[in-house]
Amino acid sequence: MLATRKGSVCLSGWKKSTRRLRPAVTMAAYAHGGGRLPSQWNAPPIAPTNAPAHKKRHHSSLPFWNQSTWGGAASNTRLHASSRDDSDARLRALLNDSDEKAARAGGGGGGRRINGPSYNGVFALLAINFVLFALDHLFHQNWVKWLYLNHQRPVWFQFVTSTFCHANYAHLSSNAFFLYIFGKLVEEEEGTFGVWFAYLATGIGANLLSYLLQPASPIVSVGASGAVFGLFAVSALVKLLRGLQWRTLLESVILGQFVVERVRDEVRNQVAGGATLAGLPVGHVAHLGGALAGVVLVLALNGLPSGDERTRR
């Protein structure tokens, strides 16, 4: 049995008394509570129904956190749970809205994404070049040589496939480096389809000019250098046509200066009789043809009316 000692404050809390004793509690209830008094004994007091009016008013105006201990504990718990649910719902809505905006910003059609382009087009082009080189020079697959552009007996598909073949590793390494750098510049502006279209169009243009100026010659043309020179011109002109902001203007000056120097060197080498790479003659005509095809491509596409202009017409 437990009881308050004489002279102590009654645990009921609302009235001091040295005469009243705390109601008896069995040791079993004390043990059942884990060695602690029942929770209601530690709670704020509530005046009995026969208490004076001012006592009732005093205890009925207990603060919220004291009232919740008695009758409002469940409602207080529900309130906090509801607040957490509302916060979670707002957070999920905010995250979903952010995901939708990111998806719209990086959607299909070659548009830019928030995290930047993935350069799938450039890496696919590089992969094809390296795979064909391995099949040709490492695994000695003779059928790959049918992909070379034969000037004496050309086949229509050779004007395309020869842009993915190379004579030796020095040839491949040089073209792969410039394809990686300038292909990424084009893909940043025009997307995956744009870099593929520019590569194929300028590569075919380079081979056509080389074949027309050297018909029925006992030579074969291979290499991505014609397409690479086309990407030189496309990257510089696309930056310039984006607008005359100081950043794009600076990029255009840097890229344009590089392109002009390379074209000038090609003209000099062609006039001087041609240069060689690893003992093989370099097709300067194809290089110039690729650069020219890049200029024509950009100017032709830029001259086409946009979607809004076609709608107004």
Residues with active-site annotation = 225, 287
Q: What contacts 168, CB < 8 A, 6 or more positions away?
A: 137, 278, 280
Tokens standing for 205? 């243009």
**Spatial separation of the C-alpha atoms in residues 263 and 44, rounded to whole Å:** 92
**Spatial separation of the C-alpha atoms in residues 101 and 149, rounded to whole Å:** 47
For residue 284, with 0-12 CB atoms within 10 Å meaning exposed, 13-18 middle and 19 or more buried, which class applies? Answer: buried
Q: Are 202 and 293 in contact (CB under 8 A)?
A: yes
Q: What contacts 63, CB < 8 A, 6 or more positions away?
A: none
**Spatial separation of the C-alpha atoms in residues 110 and 13, rounded to whole Å:** 75
DSSP 276: E
Residues 215, 265, 287, 144, CA torsion sign: positive
**Spatial separation of the C-alpha atoms in residues 160 and 158, rounded to whole Å:** 5
**Spatial separation of the C-alpha atoms in residues 262 and 229, rounded to whole Å:** 9
DSSP 23: P
Q: What contacts 94, CB < 8 A, 6 or more positions away?
A: none
**Spatial separation of the C-alpha atoms in residues 239 and 280, rounded to whole Å:** 35
